[in-house]
Amino acid sequence: MCDLVARTGRHQQRYEGGCRLLAGCIPFRYKSSDENQKVVEVLMISSQSGPGLLFPKGGWENDETVEEAAKREAIEEAGVRGDLEDFLGSYYFKSKSNQDEFCPEGLCKASVFAMRVNEELELWPEKSTRQRTWLMVPEAIKLCRYPWMKEALEKDFSQRYCIDSAGNKND
C-alpha cells in the first residue's frame, strides 16, 4: 500500500496576475554509454487526458515553496524522488481544462526545474493512471505533448545537461 496521497482540489493553490501558478520538473539521469561519455535520459509520464507524453507538474500550493511543489509533483505523478539542480525557467501557457473563478482565461505560469533522480518508487499516488518512460532527449522532444514543455526540454534543459559526441556539455 502506498502511504503517499496526491493532493486534490484548488482551494490552496496560488494565483498571481490572473495566472494559476504551477511547479514542475524534468526528471533526468545519466546513463553511461562508455567509460568517457555520459548520456542523459529524461523521465516522461503519460497524460491522463489524451495522447503524448509530459513532465510532472501541477498546482503550487500556499503552504509550500515552489521547489517543494516541484518535488511533490514528481512523487505524485511520476513516482520519483531526486535533487533539484537548476531552475530552467518560467513558461506561460493557456490551459483549456484549468479555467476557474480565479483564472477564467485558463492562463498558467509553470516554474520548471531539472531534477536528478535518485529513487524510483514502486508505488506512488498516480501509478494506476500514469505510465512512466525513460527516453533519450531527441526522442522525448518528438513525443512531448505540449509546446511549452518541448521548449523547456529542447532549449533550457538540453543546453545545460546534454552531452555532445565528444563528451562535452553543450554551452
- The string of pLDDT tens digits covering residues 30-84 is 987 655 667 899 999 998 887 889 999 999 999 999 999 999 999 999 999 999 9
The residues near 168 (Cβ < 8 Å, ≥ 6 apart) are none
The confidence score (pLDDT) of residue 166 equals 40
The residues near 71 (Cβ < 8 Å, ≥ 6 apart) are 25, 81, 82, 84, 115
Cell (9 digits) for 90 = 518560467
Classify residue 103 by its DSSP letter. Answer: B
Average pLDDT over residues 81-92: 96
The residues near 58 (Cβ < 8 Å, ≥ 6 apart) are 22, 23, 24, 69, 72, 73, 76, 77
- The three-state secondary structure class of 55 is coil
The confidence score (pLDDT) of residue 48 equals 83
What's the whole-model pTM score? 0.85
> Is residue 75 a contact partner of residue 43, using CB atoms and an 8 Å limit?
no
Q: Percentage of residues in the chain with pLDDT exceeding 90?
A: 64
pLDDT confidence band for 162 (50 / 70 / 90)? confident
pLDDT confidence band for 165 (50 / 70 / 90)? very low
For 138-151, write each residue's pLDDT tens digit. Answer: 999 999 999 999 99
The confidence score (pLDDT) of residue 96 equals 66
Residue type, 117: V
What is the spatial distance between Cα 77 and Cα 56, in angstroms, rounded to a whole number? 6
Lowest mean pLDDT among 3-12, 29-38, 80-89, 146-155: 3-12
Q: Percentage of residues in the chain with pLDDT exceeding 70?
A: 79
